[in-house]
Structure 1
Amino acid sequence: MINALIERWRPKTHTFHFSVGECAVTLEDVAMIRGLPTNGLPVTRPTMSCFEVMEAECLHQFRVAPRKADCRGSFIKLTWFRGLKDRIVLTDDIHIQMYVKCHTMLLFETILFGDKSGAAMLWKFLHLLRNFAGIIQFSWGSACLAHLYRSLCRATRVDCKEMDGPLTLLLTWAWIRLPFLAPIPGNPRLFPIANR
């Protein structure tokens, strides 16, 4: 009984174990690889699925709201953001800011906080973009690393068939920190992106 309680409350470690030791993705790695701030306010908002609140937030930030068909619970489909981004005419600072917010939401889903579907984004991040000049005050690196850790935990389940999360961060980290996984140098034309 005691062992079961200890096992339940033991903090999870997110390390990779090798014959030479163990290593983990750290905040320093996230700051170095992604260039994201790791100090600042926590990136947190409650996840709500109330369509009316989400509609009001979109109207406030973009002057247009998605239809119910463009939403799925507390998610907004990325096609809505892509369509809105394509329709924005960059005539003044307000429209430029709306365009950048759309692009930022797309980056959140595809790079920082992706899920397995890759088709929708939690709209809770919209509220964090309300004060666009203050976006730098959040610890985006910490949130990205926490999302990676959560994804790694879910990927270890027996019934899990694929992984989500910031996989480009994980792959880049492995490329830099685990040179025995990197391809043998020789022909740089074979791996131009990774060599850059």
Structure 2
Amino acid sequence: MSESTDKCLVERWHPNTHTFHLLVGECAVTLKDVAMIFGLPTDGLPVTGMTLSSFNGLEAEYLHQFGVSLRKLDCRGSGIKLTWLWDLKERLQLTDENSIQVYVKVHIMLLIGTILFGDKAGASVHWKYLPLLSNFASIGQYSWGSACLAHLYRSLCRASRFDCKEIDGPLTLLLCWAWMRLSYLAPVPREPRSFSLANRWRNWERGDRVYRFLKLAHFRKALDELQEGQFVWVAYSADRVDPDIVPGPTFRNAS
């Protein structure tokens, strides 16, 4: 299902204007969408830095931050295998402040590799993000939302090329954006009062058996026949999102 929705949206993506061209007008995923759907900060320090690729550097960085050694077979190119991170997370004993910080860093690396900046293979996460986590107190000061949105735009532009067969990037963001705006195409939300709003469809596949088997033709036809009023332009109004569940700073950063 998700691949069908992604493909339909990519077909309507215009790389020059970074907008979707629909029958009812042009629209795009914005910083406010990232803040509301993922709960990520959209201002702050830029997510940038040096991209190093030597195994010695990677090994030293992981030993310094996680306190464990790394083997070459745990790597995939310039990335660390997600299975290695999952195993490390399961083994950690939360006995003191340092072990808790290591646990949080591993969890963030997994989020980066699977949700925020995932690649097509979905098997590893590039270690270039790890230096951004070295100062634990400053992790939340980065504009992760801006970087995530930029990554989605780049992924959509690449996927719109005629010779591209797959798309990577934060597809959870793209899907939740589509489900918020095109509610008649969305599965039934499981947790309507949850924040971040992506949690609304957590484990949705368990209860939406019919929806799971809808084909590409279904979603393509639905978008081709889109009528005025079916697209929600104001997706976060009080009648759709309870303001009591939205943290104040997140909403202000997204406005």
* Same fold per superposition (TM over 0.5): yes
The alignment status of 1:162 with 2:159, answered yes or no, reads no
The alignment status of 1:22 with 2:33, answered yes or no, reads no
CA contact (8 A) 1:88 1:99 kept: yes
CA contact (8 A) 1:114 1:164 kept: yes
1:119 is matched with which residue? 123
Larger RCO of the pair (alpha carbons < 8 Å, separation 6+):
2
Give TM-score, length-normalised by structure 1. Answer: 0.85
1:40 to 41, 44, 57: 44
The alpha-carbon distance between structure 1 residues 33 and 44, as it changes in their structure 2 partners (threshold 3 A), is same
Deviations 1:116-157 (A, max 9, x none): 111100101110000111111100000100110111011112
1:193 is matched with which residue? 190
1:82 is matched with which residue? 86
1:60 is matched with which residue? 64
Unmatched segments (≥5 aa) in structure 1: 1-10, 184-190
Deviations 1:29-78 (A, max 9, x none): 11111111111111012222111111111111011121011112211111
1:51 is matched with which residue? 55
2:178 is matched with which residue? 174
Q: For 2:190, what is the secondary structure of its paired residue?
A: helix
Distance 1:65 1:149 in 2: 36
CA contact (8 A) 1:66 1:80 kept: no
The alignment status of 1:144 with 2:152, answered yes or no, reads no
Distance 1:56 1:17 in 2: 47
Distance 1:152 1:75 in 2: 22
Give TM-score, length-normalised by structure 2. Answer: 0.66
CA contact (8 A) 1:76 1:123 kept: yes
Deviations 1:165-186 (A, max 9, x none): 1111111111112345446xxx
Distance 2:57 2:151 in 1: 25
Give the aligned residue type for 2:106.
C
Deviating 4+ runs (over 4 angstroms): none
Distance 1:112 1:143 in 2: 9
The alpha-carbon distance between structure 1 residues 66 and 94, as it changes in their structure 2 partners (threshold 3 A), is same
CA contact (8 A) 1:76 1:121 kept: yes
Bigger CA drift: 54-63 or 70-79? 70-79
Give the aligned residue type for 2:190.
I
Distance 2:73 2:80 in 1: 9
CA contact (8 A) 1:27 1:142 kept: yes
CA contact (8 A) 1:116 1:164 kept: yes
